[in-house]
Structure 1
Amino acid sequence: MPGYQITEYCHRMIKEHIKEGDCCVDATAGNGNDTEFLCRLTGADGKVYAFDIQKAAVEHTKKRLEEAGLTERAKVILDGHEHMENYVRETVSAITFNFGYLPGGDHQIATQADTSIQAIEAGLRLLKKGGIMSLCIYSGGDSGFAEKEALLSYLETLDSRTFLVIVSTYYNRQNHPPIPVFVIRIKEERGE
């Protein structure tokens, strides 16, 4: 039976959109789980860019990739995800986000709605036709509720002719369960 934790669910959706040699982005590297997953999917000829503002997260991610023998497949960057276009020059097949705080880290350091929306906008500009953006929205914590509302409100404004937005929910879970969201580019912005 497949797993139903939010990351497992998101990974099942993401893998349908990635092939070997693709370029992907882990916009919130954290402990490197999504970075490693994307590196395995894109293969030796692929490229993964991973971003985090916390030095500890960058170090965790690099260590995880080193232990998995995947160091050469990823570029791990100590910078905010809203700056991804400064580093990523090609279109991407998948972008992952996990909003909230670093698991096991300082809960005072968490993603913020304004820079998160800037990062989503940057990611959407990079996302190729048929590409997917996965957003795991955790709404607990000091800023999580406000960020959740801001992100969902923003996503509702996306042009339905260009993007398909799927919002799932763990309907019978208590205590503010995470919300998995997928944005799929269904056409190019111009011409098509």
Structure 2
Amino acid sequence: MLRRVLPQAKTLAQDIVQDGDAVVDATCGNGHDTKFLSELVGAAGKVYSFDIQAEAIENARSLCGSHGNIEFILDSHENIDRYVDSRPLKAAMFNLGYLPRGDKSITTTPASTMLAIQKLFDRLADGGRIIIVVYHGHPGGKTERDALMEQLSQWPQKEAQILKYQFINQKNDAPFLLCIEKNRHA
């Protein structure tokens, strides 16, 4: 069976993240990716979990319980450079759009998302990945989708491989997955 988008996003992280790695959940939401990443990196690792909504951070804290390797950050992912320490990042995950069961008028935006992606890419270890689930079925979602596709399709091939994983026969603006893998340099 083909994996649906969210399980495929997790597989792309599982394939490379190891115990002790540093990772980022750029859109904390209700904490599902934060918890998943916390379990992948183990007690020796570090998860930086960003969201601009206090409600999201509280939901994630509640879900993650006593995971001591998570730093919750109430700020935009575009400010990642203010919080993340100097060790290389192995992976970052985004779920673009709005907080599920939250205020649908508060969404990710093309400018902050692209700035965060560039800052994360600069900190990414060789072979590291930025995994982005693009939800584009809301007002502003198509604008963000189009901006991402335009900018990422022009990214130099010598720096990264960029994958698009999408089911093309689904209705209602089904989400799709983008994965930026930083090339290994000898």
TM-score range, shorter chain: over 0.9
- Measure how far apart 1:8 and its partner are: 1.1
**Residue 158 (structure 2) aligns with:** 161
Q: Please list the CA deviations of residues 55-82 of structure 1 after superposition, one character each: whole Å capped at 9, or x if unmatched.
A: 100111111111xx31x11000000000
* Separation of aligned partners in 1, 2:100 and 2:93: 16
* Separation of aligned partners in 1, 2:117 and 2:151: 10
RMSD, aligned CA:
1.2
- Measure how far apart 1:93 and its partner are: 0.4
1:119 paired residue among 86, 105, 116:
116
Q: What TM-score, normalized by structure 2, do the two folds share?
A: 0.96
- Measure how far apart 1:187 and its partner are: 2.9
**Residue 147 (structure 1) aligns with:** 144
**Residue 85 (structure 1) aligns with:** 81
Kept after mapping to 2: 8 A contact 1:84/1:119: yes
**Residue 55 (structure 1) aligns with:** 54
Aligned length: 185
Task: Give the secondary-structure state (helix, strand or coil) at the position aligned to 2:94.
Answer: strand
Structure 2: segments with no counterpart, 5+ residues = none
**Residue 31 (structure 2) aligns with:** 32
**Residue 4 (structure 2) aligns with:** 5
**Residue 131 (structure 2) aligns with:** 134
- 1:109 paired with 2:109, answer no
Which portions of structure 1, spanning 4 or more consecutive aligned residues, are displaced by more than 4 angstroms? none
* Separation of aligned partners in 2, 1:59 and 1:154: 33
* Separation of aligned partners in 2, 1:123 and 1:78: 17
* Separation of aligned partners in 1, 2:45 and 2:63: 18
Structure 1: segments with no counterpart, 5+ residues = none
* Separation of aligned partners in 2, 1:85 and 1:187: 22
Kept after mapping to 2: 8 A contact 1:161/1:187: no
Task: Give the secondary-structure state (helix, strand or coil) at the position aligned to 2:10.
Answer: helix
Q: Please list the CA deviations of residues 84-124 of structure 1 after superposition, one character each: whole Å capped at 9, or x if unmatched.
A: 11111221001000100001101100001111111111111
Kept after mapping to 2: 8 A contact 1:137/1:148: yes
Identity fraction in percent: 32
* 1:145 aligned partner, one-letter code: K
